[in-house]
């Protein structure tokens, strides 16, 4: 394919668009590296930061670079196991794909020696908190055991969709339903059922008694039976040999061999029969015990002819969960030194009631024009888990909560807390449901909000957020250093030259249909060009139908979602990368193309993004016509000259050092303003 240089009307160069409401950092420079050293010298430890939530690995990535910068970070990802929220997806260089994207079993692929960091806890909420508490309380051995417990639980969760586990759960549910149905039966039906059970048990008892009668005989009689069986066996063996003595060769030899072969399985079967009698004897004892209990219950006289309301019996599942809860709390206390039952005190309940009343009044004051109101019922579902969260938060100097998790810090009253949005406040806080109301209030009350999507500044203004800091998605060293994500083999479906679009198939949000129609428009001009897209998204079936209608089945390759290392490789080898056409702002895909030096085609609304960054060099597209034009321009541009411009823009606007510096500066000032009594 020939590449020519032609002027492009769709190429946007840096500085060609006006900047409106430009955000500027604090005028006073802050030496955060010096602060980290001073904090460690004065406290005898590093500043402790807890990251809660890990959608798209944002929590893991931020904690990783902050640990390298000198902070003591923990990342907690509870009850969320999607592949894009696991460290393996971000930093492990593996090929192939796990079977289940939502509950992956990472033992199915070769991770090439990658191991998770111990500061990243992923698993059920209860045990993940237990692990971090043991880790922070200095219980190294307990933390090591709980780390293995979390690993086992992740493996068990990844197997929950297998047939044998589903069968076990179905059988357990069936038994529980039958038990509850028998307990809830009417008295007459219950009486008939108990009589039937009693008669069945009597039959089983008589059958078991016949087998067990042998074991209840005196020792001398048992020995007599054993000698008798041995005598009969020896007599039969001698008779068999005498029968074959007069036979000619080779029939006599064959007969003796058959006798030996016949006696061996007989002895084995006799041993198995004796072993099989053991459960029958046990069944006899159990049947006798149950039969006596049933007969006693049937023999109870009727105390009164007038029916009295009986208390509703507790369900089997409830009683089992209550028993397991006590065991679970005991194990928790043994490993962490903290008994969850001691945390839920009357004082905490009074504090919770007072805080709920305060939050309801604050919601009415901050959002007087909202038709929905915050009520006590919205906060009650969080009540049972708040004591543990409060205990965990007390071990840290600052908490950075992602997505909707700032609700936890708000309900526990923890300060300082930083809310991290990655598209969260675009729509969620403005819906009419409890999560929306609590999210809106949590972001409004946070000490600071990190905005990663520039278009969410408008939502932050609507929520009344007083302090916010624009921090882009982390694009770390592996995007720039070919030695980390080297030029390994491409997926077998990918054949250069190709256009790459890693966005999911969502016509309304991503505009995937625009790309497919635009590629069809240039397919004849570039007969060897391929379009590569992932085979995931809610509209992937609609995209397949459109591809078939346009006759592009041989030109479009749908591949499995790529981990970050393979994503970098495929992006680096593409002639152009196409991002979404709807939101008008960067996500995590566009910067990937700019970092590796691949031409980017997307739609940016500068009114939404210019307040925090200058326009990048990219090809503007928002519909089929402009996307077709942008594809032609990207295929004809000079890759070398454009790559230098892309790298320069990334250093000014998206460099990973800026992510570290802005996070560290924000954390340091908040910790100084609101010091904790954390030991």
The model's confidence at residue 53, banded by pLDDT at 50, 70 and 90, is very high
Q: Is residue 353 domain-shared with residue 247, that is, in the same domain?
A: no
**CB proximity list for 337: less than 8 A, separation 6 or greater:** 133, 134, 137, 139
**88 to 81, 109, 387, 560: CA distances (angstroms):** 11, 10, 32, 16
Q: Over 90: is that where the pLDDT of 160 sits?
A: no
Regarding beta strands 498-500 and 530-534, do their DSSP bridges make them parallel or antiparallel, or are they unpaired?
parallel
Q: Over 80: is that where the pLDDT of 550 sits?
A: yes
Q: Which residue has the higher pLDDT, 357 or 298?
A: 357
Q: Over 80: is that where the pLDDT of 461 sits?
A: yes
Task: Enumerate helices (H) and strands (E) in the chain, giving the number of each.
Answer: 25, 14
The model's confidence at residue 6, banded by pLDDT at 50, 70 and 90, is very low
In a domain, 357, yes or no: yes
Q: Which residue has the higher pLDDT, 276 or 519?
A: 519
Q: Over 90: is that where the pLDDT of 587 sits?
A: no
Read off the pLDDT of residues 553-564 as tens digits, 9 standing for 90 and up. Answer: 899 999 888 888
Nearest to 316 by CA among 324, 307, 308, 305: 324
According to DSSP, the residues that pair with 11 across neighbouring strands are: 619
The model's confidence at residue 61, banded by pLDDT at 50, 70 and 90, is very high
Residue 344 DSSP symbol:
S
Given 245, 275, 298, which residue is the final one in a domain?
A: 298
Read off the pLDDT of residues 237-269 as tens digits, 9 standing for 90 and up. Answer: 667 666 666 666 566 666 666 666 555 555 556
In a domain, 331, yes or no: no
What is the pLDDT, as a whole number, of residue 189?
47
Residue that is written with structure tokens 């490789």 in the block: 569
| pTM assigned to the model | 0.74
Q: Is residue 371 domain-shared with residue 455, that is, in the same domain?
A: yes
Alpha-carbon torsion (137, 143, 147, 152), positive or negative: negative
Q: Over 80: is that where the pLDDT of 506 sits?
A: yes
Q: Which residue has the higher pLDDT, 314 or 521?
A: 521
In a domain, 33, yes or no: no
Q: Which residue has the higher pLDDT, 641 or 442?
A: 442
Nearest to 676 by CA among 409, 333, 362: 409
Alpha carbons within 13 A on the beta-carbon side of 651: 8
**CB proximity list for 388: less than 8 A, separation 6 or greater:** 126, 129, 340, 343
Nearest to 5 by CA among 634, 627, 630, 497: 634
Q: Is residue 537 domain-shared with residue 565, that is, in the same domain?
A: yes
Strand spans (E) along 175-283: none
Asked if residue 394 lies in contact with residue 376, where contact means CB atoms within 8 angstroms, the answer is no
Q: Which residue has the higher pLDDT, 149 or 1?
A: 149
In a domain, 80, yes or no: yes
Q: Is residue 545 domain-shared with residue 592, that is, in the same domain?
A: yes
Q: Is residue 208 domain-shared with residue 273, that is, in the same domain?
A: yes
Edge-to-edge strands of the sheet including 556-559?
11-12, 618-620, 600-602, 576-578, 498-500, 530-534, 556-559
Read off the pLDDT of residues 184-220 as tens digits, 9 standing for 90 and up. Answer: 554 544 454 445 445 554 555 555 555 555 555 555 5
Q: What total number of domains does the chain contain?
A: 3
Asked if residue 340 lies in contact with residue 387, where contact means CB atoms within 8 angstroms, the answer is yes
* Per-residue 3-state assignment (H helix, E strand, C coil) for 359-395: HHHHHHHHCCCCCCCCCHHHHHHHHHHHHHHHHHHCC
Q: Identify the top-confidence range among 47-51, 82-86, 92-96, 313-317.
A: 47-51
What is the pLDDT, as a whole number, of residue 93?
86
Query: Strand, coil or helix: what is 32?
Result: helix
The alpha-helical segments, DSSP class H, found in 384-498 are 386-393, 406-412, 434-445, 457-463
Read off the pLDDT of residues 625-659 as tens digits, 9 standing for 90 and up. Answer: 999 999 999 998 887 778 888 888 888 888 888 88
CATH number of the domain that residue 82 is part of: 3.40.50.2000
Alpha carbons within 13 A on the beta-carbon side of 102: 4
The alpha-helical segments, DSSP class H, found in 46-111 are 58-69, 87-91
User: Measured in Å, how far apart are the chain's first and last C-alpha atoms?
Assistant: 65
Q: CB burial class (10 A; 0-12, 13-18, 19+) of residue 564?
A: buried
Q: Is residue 191 domain-shared with residue 281, that is, in the same domain?
A: yes
Read off the pLDDT of residues 36-48 as tens digits, 9 standing for 90 and up. Answer: 999 999 999 999 9
Give me 498's structure tokens. Answer: 């190709």
In a domain, 22, yes or no: no
Given 280, 298, 316, which residue is the final one in a domain?
A: 298
The model's confidence at residue 608, banded by pLDDT at 50, 70 and 90, is confident
Regarding beta strands 498-500 and 11-12, do their DSSP bridges make them parallel or antiparallel, or are they unpaired?
unpaired
What is the pLDDT, as a whole number, of residue 561?
86
What is the pLDDT, as a whole number, of residue 5?
34
- DSSP readout, 111-177? -TT----TTEEEE-HHHHHHHHHHHHTT-HHHHHHHHHHHHHHHHHHHTTTSHHHHHHHHHHHHHHH
Asked if residue 667 lies in contact with residue 420, where contact means CB atoms within 8 angstroms, the answer is no
Nearest to 587 by CA among 474, 498, 500: 474
Q: Is residue 499 domain-shared with residue 648, that is, in the same domain?
A: yes
Q: Over 80: is that where the pLDDT of 485 sits?
A: no
Q: Which residue has the higher pLDDT, 325 or 230?
A: 325
Range of weakest confidence among 10-24, 247-261, 467-481, 593-607: 10-24
What is the pLDDT, as a whole number, of residue 186?
47
Query: Could you give the CA distance from residue 659 to residue 655 in angstroms, rounded to a whole number?
Result: 7
In a domain, 307, yes or no: no
Q: Is residue 55 domain-shared with residue 195, that is, in the same domain?
A: no
Nearest to 565 by CA among 84, 8, 93: 93
The model's confidence at residue 306, banded by pLDDT at 50, 70 and 90, is very low
Give me 363's structure tokens. Answer: 């919601």
Range of the domain at 242: 185-298
Q: Is residue 502 domain-shared with residue 626, that is, in the same domain?
A: yes
**519 to 420, 516, 527, 530: CA distances (angstroms):** 37, 5, 11, 9
Give the distance from CA 631 to its chain's centroid: 37
Query: Could you give the CA distance from residue 543 to residue 288 in angstroms, rounded to a whole number?
Result: 67
Given 298, 330, 359, which residue is the final one in a domain?
A: 298
In a domain, 534, yes or no: yes
Range of weakest confidence among 25-34, 268-277, 566-575: 268-277
Q: Is residue 489 domain-shared with residue 466, that is, in the same domain?
A: no
What is the pLDDT, as a whole number, of residue 622?
87
The mean pLDDT value for 387-409 works out to: 95
Query: Strand, coil or helix: what is 244?
Result: helix
Regarding beta strands 576-578 and 556-559, do their DSSP bridges make them parallel or antiparallel, or are they unpaired?
unpaired
What is the pLDDT, as a whole number, of residue 302?
43
CB atoms within 10 A of CB 162: 12
Nearest to 71 by CA among 27, 32, 26, 110: 32
What is the pLDDT, as a whole number, of residue 231?
65
Residue 314 DSSP symbol:
P
CA 40-41-47 angle, 5° bins? 15
Residue 535 DSSP symbol:
S
According to DSSP, the residues that pair with 121 across neighbouring strands are: 76
The mean pLDDT value for 503-527 works out to: 89
The mean pLDDT value for 461-474 works out to: 90
Q: Is residue 623 domain-shared with residue 490, that is, in the same domain?
A: yes
In a domain, 48, yes or no: yes
Q: Over 90: is that where the pLDDT of 493 sits?
A: no
Q: Is residue 67 domain-shared with residue 157, that is, in the same domain?
A: yes
CB atoms within 10 A of CB 529: 19
Alpha carbons within 13 A on the beta-carbon side of 331: 15
Nearest to 524 by CA among 632, 627, 620, 601: 632
Asked if residue 585 lies in contact with residue 604, where contact means CB atoms within 8 angstroms, the answer is yes
* Average confidence score pLDDT of the chain: 80
Regarding beta strands 11-12 and 618-620, do their DSSP bridges make them parallel or antiparallel, or are they unpaired?
antiparallel
């Amino acid at each position: 394919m020939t590449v020519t240089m032609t002027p492009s009307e769709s190429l946007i160069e840096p500085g060609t668009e006006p900047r409106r409401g430009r955000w500027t950092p604090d005028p006073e420079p802050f030496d955060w590296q010096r602060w980290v050293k001073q904090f460690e010298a004065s406290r005898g430890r590093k500043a402790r930061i807890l990251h809660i939530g890990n959608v798209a690995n944002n929590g893991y990535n931020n904690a990783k670079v902050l640990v390298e910068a000198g902070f003591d970070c923990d990342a907690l990802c509870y009850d969320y196991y999607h592949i894009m929220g696991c460290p393996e997806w971000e930093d492990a260089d593996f090929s192939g794909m796990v079977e289940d994207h939502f509950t992956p079993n990472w033992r199915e692929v070769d991770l090439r020696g990658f191991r998770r960091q111990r500061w990243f806890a992923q698993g059920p909420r209860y045990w993940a908190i237990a692990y971090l508490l043991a880790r922070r309380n200095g219980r190294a051995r307990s933390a090591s055991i709980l780390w293995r417990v979390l690993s086992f639980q992740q493996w068990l969760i990844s197997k929950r969709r297998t047939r044998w586990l589903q069968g076990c759960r179905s059988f357990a549910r069936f038994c529980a339903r039958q038990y509850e149905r028998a307990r809830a039966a009417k008295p007459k039906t219950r009486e008939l059922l108990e009589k039937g059970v009693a008669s069945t048990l009597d039959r089983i008892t008589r059958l078991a008694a016949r087998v067990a009668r042998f074991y209840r005989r005196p020792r001398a009689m048992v020995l007599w039976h054993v000698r008798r069986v041995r005598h009969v066996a020896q007599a039969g063996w001698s008779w068999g040999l005498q029968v074959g003595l007069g036979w000619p060769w080779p029939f006599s030899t064959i007969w003796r061999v058959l006798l030996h072969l016949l006696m061996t399985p007989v002895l084995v079967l006799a041993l198995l029969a004796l072993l099989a009698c053991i459960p029958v004897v046990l069944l006899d004892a159990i049947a006798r015990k149950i039969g006596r209990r049933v007969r006693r219950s049937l023999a109870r006289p009727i105390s009164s002819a007038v029916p009295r309301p009986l208390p509703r019996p507790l369900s089997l599942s409830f009683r089992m969960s209550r028993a397991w809860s006590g065991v679970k709390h005991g194990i928790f206390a043994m490993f962490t030194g903290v008994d969850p039952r001691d945390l839920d005190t009357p004082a905490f309940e009074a504090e919770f009631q007072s805080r709920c009343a305060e939050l309801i009044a604050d919601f009415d004051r901050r959002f007087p024009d909202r038709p929905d109101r915050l009520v006590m019922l919205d906060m009650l579902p969080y009540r049972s888990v708040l004591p543990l969260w409060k205990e965990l938060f007390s071990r840290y100097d600052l908490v950075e909560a992602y997505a909707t998790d700032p609700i936890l810090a708000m309900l526990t009253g923890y300060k300082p807390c930083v809310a991290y949005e990655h598209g969260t406040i675009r729509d969620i806080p403005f819906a009419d449901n409890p999560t929306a109301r609590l999210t809106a209030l949590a972001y409004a009350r946070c000490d600071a909000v990190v905005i990663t999507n520039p278009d969410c500044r408008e939502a932050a203004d609507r929520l009344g957020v007083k302090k916010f800091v624009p921090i882009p998605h982390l694009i770390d060293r592996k995007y720039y250093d070919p030695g980390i994500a080297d030029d390994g083999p491409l997926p077998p479906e990918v054949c250069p030259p190709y256009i790459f679009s890693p966005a999911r198939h969502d016509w309304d949000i991503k505009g995937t249909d625009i790309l497919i129609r635009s590629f069809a428009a240039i397919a004849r001009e570039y007969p060897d060009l391929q379009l590569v897209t992932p085979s995931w998204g809610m509209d992937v079936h609609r995209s397949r139908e459109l591809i078939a209608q346009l006759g592009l089945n041989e030109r479009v390759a749908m591949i499995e979602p790529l981990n970050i290392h393979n994503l970098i490789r495929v992006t680096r080898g593409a002639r152009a990368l196409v991002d979404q056409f709807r939101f008008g702002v960067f996500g995590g895909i566009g910067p990937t193309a700019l970092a590796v030096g691949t031409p980017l085609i997307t739609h940016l609304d500068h009114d939404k993004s210019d307040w925090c960054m200058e326009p990048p060099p990219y090809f503007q597209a928002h519909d089929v016509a402009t996307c077709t034009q942008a594809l032609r321009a990207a295929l004809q541009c000079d890759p070398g000259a454009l790559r230098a411009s892309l790298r320069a823009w990334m250093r000014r606007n998206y460099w990973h050092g800026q992510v570290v510096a802005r996070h560290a500066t924000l954390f340091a000032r908040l910790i100084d303003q609101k010091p904790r009594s954390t030991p």
